[in-house]
Amino acid sequence: MSSRTDSRANIAVDGPAGAGKSTAAKLLAERLGFDYIDTGAMYRALTWKAVQEKVDVHNEQELERLLQEMKLVMKPAGGEIDIFADDRRITEEVRSSEVTNQVSYTAAHQKIRSGMVEKQKRMASGGGCVMDGRDIGTAVLPDASFKFFLTAEVEERARRRHLEQLDKGIESDLETLKEEIASRDKLDSERETAPLRKASDAVEIDTTSMSLEEVVEKMYKIITKRVNDYE
């Protein structure tokens, strides 16, 4: 970010699965010289742990125990974020379909959410973070200096995931992805605790027909314009 911008600012990026949040948030963070925090990866890491320990993701109490016991570390590594659970690198494992298909259940528990939100608030307490998730603008960082809510049509989100998977050499079926995304949307927006919703003061960007670069540019312009307007 330009030297004129408050480096203590935090930026919240929310939206449904596959709207391009994480890549856009990561690039925005790089451009601003901020830290990038992927909160979805935290729920995924806990889900991965549950799978390992054969804990049912519907069992809130057992999940809470795992969350308390688990050492969860996120480390920047060459433009990406490496995720470690109890010192084991699980960056790729947290993206497996086994984890992806269960993570919405993990994220629906009230106690799990409050434990995660507390960690996330701590991670952002020094400012200078771009944090992406579902409840960042509403629950984790309600006072964030900038809030964005990225959306895109389901078909487009599925198409992006599909290309991403193929690119990584992961087997992928577009129709299945569409169904999975629609089902996760439903679970994430209808859950009782902190459902996915746009903060009233967030800027909504429909990314359906935008390139990643255009999305990042738009966010960057909004931030720098507002900062410059204040000066």
Instruction: Give residues in contact with ligand DC (CB under 6 A).
Output: 17, 39-41, 43-44, 103-104, 107, 133-135, 184, 188
By the 10 Å C-beta count (0-12 exposed, 13-18 middle, 19+ buried), 222 is classed as middle
Minimum distance from residue 184 beta carbon to ligand DC (Å) = 5
Q: Which amino acid is at 207?
A: T
Minimum distance from residue 105 beta carbon to ligand DC (Å) = 9
Angle at 15 between CA 211 and CA 19, to 5 degrees: 30
Minimum distance from residue 226 beta carbon to ligand DC (Å) = 24
Minimum distance from residue 225 beta carbon to ligand DC (Å) = 27
Residue with smaller CB distance to ligand DC, 4 or 58: 58
Residue with smaller CB distance to ligand DC, 183 or 211: 183
How does DSSP classify residue 147?
Answer: E
Secondary structure, 3-state, 113-132: HHHHHHHHHHHCCCCCEEEE
Torsion 173-24-128-141 (CA) sign: negative
Minimum distance from residue 224 beta carbon to ligand DC (Å) = 26
Residue with smaller CB distance to ligand DC, 1 or 13: 13
Q: How far is CA 125 from CA 90, 118, 129, 159, in A?
A: 26, 10, 9, 36
Minimum distance from residue 100 beta carbon to ligand DC (Å) = 7
Residue with smaller CB distance to ligand DC, 1 or 178: 178
> Which two structure tokens, joined as six digits, stand for 221?
């312009």
Quick check: 124 and 25 in contact, CB under 8 A? no
d(CA 165, CA 68): 32
Residue with smaller CB distance to ligand DC, 5 or 120: 120
* Residue positions counted in the chain: 231
Residue with smaller CB distance to ligand DC, 134 or 160: 134
